[in-house]
Structure 1
Amino acid sequence: MADAARKLDVTPPAVTQRLKQLESRLSIRLLDRSGRRLVLTDEGELLAAHARRICGDIDDLADLLSSRRSTVAGDLRVIAPLGFGQRYIAPAIAGFRSMYPEVTVSLTLSDRPTRIADDMWELMIHIGEMRDSSLVSKYLAPNRRVLCAAPQYLTRHGVPAHPDDLRAHDCIALRENDEDVTMWRFTPGERGTAANVRIEPVLSSNDGGTVRDWALAGLGVIVRSEWDVAEHLRAGALVPLLEDWKLPDADIVALVNSRHGRSARATRFLDYLRESMSPPPWLPSAGGEGKRPRAEGTQRTAAR
């Protein structure tokens, strides 16, 4: 209630009074007031959902009117994964906002963005497996997945020569996007049989940065997006493993909300994102820092 008062620039008692007037007019309770907590009733949830759609329609109308005077305006709502959103989407929004000051932007960072109701966003940045094929996706940048570990871990535990060897290693799992994160799927670079390895993680987290930092500390083997580990691979702090095998790519795409995706602000922001990621900022420029270090040795690690 206090947060609503700040956003509306009124006093908290004024918000309480408006809520009471709305409940009186509708002859229903919108909030359950139990102790110090306020919880939406079923009717309150229904009203909130429809109100968000109405507000979205108003934004669309404002955007349509703005397009007639060749301006980009309105409220752009973006959802992005935690780590990637912090590192690349937030700075892009800052640059976009300086170009289009009549656009307001709301960025939500989440480890499970696809679970957020579609009336809460215009654009969603997505990395990895797509479960809902009905969503319209716009390609932004390539992103491969890399199996890697720190040199100090490999010194202690040896270098896997085949995906099956990973069953004897300390593996670290990133739990995201409701994927089956303990099934690591490998395709041979040349002719051969694919290998699917069910790992038993010694550590797991829903935060990619935490998983990467555990690997940097020498705690185990990870599968991580290239955008997050490229600089550590170039520096030798992490070493790529099983380079003759390929993991499924996790390209970076923008999912477009079918209700809002045609707005000028969404289209311009998509163009801005594509430009900012071409070439991908996590990859070395042409003639850059050279080849990544390669794990030495091909010994098969015995199960401990």
Structure 2
Amino acid sequence: MDRIDTMRAFVTVVNEGTFTRAAERLDTSPQLVSKYVAQLETHLGVRLLNRTTRRLHLTEAGTRYHQRAQQILADIDDMEDQLGDLQTQARGTLRISAPVSFAIRHMAPLLSQFQQAHPAVGIDLQLNDRKVDIVEEGFDIALRIGHLKSSSLIARRIAPIRLVLCASPEYLARHGTPRHPDDLRDHRYLRYSYMDPEASPALYRGFQGGQRSGRDELVSNNGDVLVAAAEAGAGIALQPTFISGAAIRAGQLQVLLPDYEPEPMSLYAVYAHRQLLASKVRYFIDFMDGFFGDPPYWDDF
């Protein structure tokens, strides 16, 4: 029994969710993957997975083993990446988690150019606006937008993220242009459901000051929907310029109350702290640094 092969099979099954997908990832058969996991459980003398017809469930021992085994395999990959040609050439699959709207609008050119420079690196990009656990879920890097809080993870600031209040010229022609946050009480708020009120307290209080009680708001957890609604004249949106910038530049949206603009956030590349960082991760983070410009190109309006 090769302990590294069995360990890698188990970790891949957990990360992929099924033996079939794990076999595809490892370029082998589901039967061999199942055999490896069974050999590992026999060797350890504990059950790591409970299998049902619909899904796999980690046991308590399996959860602990997965965490340690994933780190051990990463350390082995890191060690090999430091030897010979692997020190200077990134290779392997890079698993990235990124926010939905940002990735759709801005990640494709970055990934394309990175793979042209590093053709031995494959990309597995997963889009999700929730805060993923990069260690538990097997990601190499997570891109996050916000104000960085203390964490056991390492973060590199990639670009500033500017929030602007905006509405269409047609909407403003019908309902008037607010000159002060207090004026917002008379307007429809296209509200992003994940927005922290503390990110823009003056604007938030302005919208809350009205008598509407949110009954005619449009609320969504996707900024693209809200920007499109603002372009259509549905109301006023507070959105990052990486979504709204193109419409502002084209004259489809107009920036409001610039003197009350919230403090900028940042785009960060977040990764687990490791003594030896895999070449594929190190090269990608360095490649991202400065790629979008400072100020970023989406603020050119």
Q: Give the TM-score category using the shorter length.
A: 0.7 to 0.9
Encode CA deviations 1:89-120: one digit per residue, 9 max, x unaligned.
Answer: 3331221111112233332322023x323463
SS at structure 1 position matched to 2:83: helix
TM-score (norm 1): 0.77
User: Which residue of 2 is the match for residue 192 of structure 1?
Assistant: none
Q: Which has the higher helix share?
A: 2
Aligned partners of 1:86 and 1:161: how far apart in 2?
33
Aligned partners of 1:135 and 1:196: how far apart in 2?
34
The one of 234, 254, 259 aligned to 1:219 = 234
The one of 173, 176, 179 aligned to 1:161 = 179
Q: Which residue identity lines up with residue 268 of structure 1 in the other structure? A: Y
Is residue 2:46 matched to residue 1:28? yes
Aligned partners of 1:283 and 1:183: how far apart in 2?
19
Aligned partners of 1:173 and 1:93: how far apart in 2?
31
User: Which residue of 2 is the match for residue 85 of structure 1?
Assistant: 103
For the aligned residue pairs, the C-alpha RMSD in angstroms reads: 2.9
Q: Could you list the runs of 5+ residues in structure 2 that have no partner in the other structure?
A: 1-18
User: Which residue of 1 is the match for residue 156 of structure 2?
Assistant: 138
Is residue 2:201 matched to residue 1:185? yes
TM-score (norm 2): 0.78
SS at structure 1 position matched to 2:248: helix
The percent identity for this pair of structures is 33
Aligned partners of 1:182 and 1:174: how far apart in 2?
13
Alignment CA distance shift 1:19-1:277 (3 Å): same
Aligned partners of 1:72 and 1:95: how far apart in 2?
14
Alignment CA distance shift 1:4-1:143 (3 Å): same
Aligned partners of 2:128 and 2:190: how far apart in 1?
20
Q: Could you list the runs of 5+ residues in structure 1 that have no partner in the other structure?
A: 188-194, 285-291, 293-304
Q: Which residue identity lines up with residue 159 of structure 1 in the other structure? A: T
Report 1:79-118 matches (<5 A).
79-113=97-131, 115-118=132-135
Q: Which residue identity lines up with residue 44 of structure 1 in the other structure? A: G
SS at structure 2 position matched to 1:106: strand
Alignment CA distance shift 1:225-1:260 (3 Å): farther
Report 1:1-304 matches (<5 A).
1-66=19-84, 70-113=88-131, 115-118=132-135, 120-132=138-150, 135-176=153-194, 180-181=196-197, 184-186=200-202, 196-197=205-206, 199=208, 202-259=217-274, 262-278=277-293, 280-284=296-300
SS at structure 2 position matched to 1:85: helix
Alignment CA distance shift 1:33-1:264 (3 Å): closer
Aligned partners of 1:207 and 1:19: how far apart in 2?
40
Q: How big is the shift at 1:251?
A: 2.6
Alignment CA distance shift 1:41-1:133 (3 Å): closer
Q: How big is the shift at 1:268?
A: 2.7
Q: Is the 8 A contact 2:99 2:143 kept in 1?
A: yes
SS at structure 2 position matched to 1:272: helix
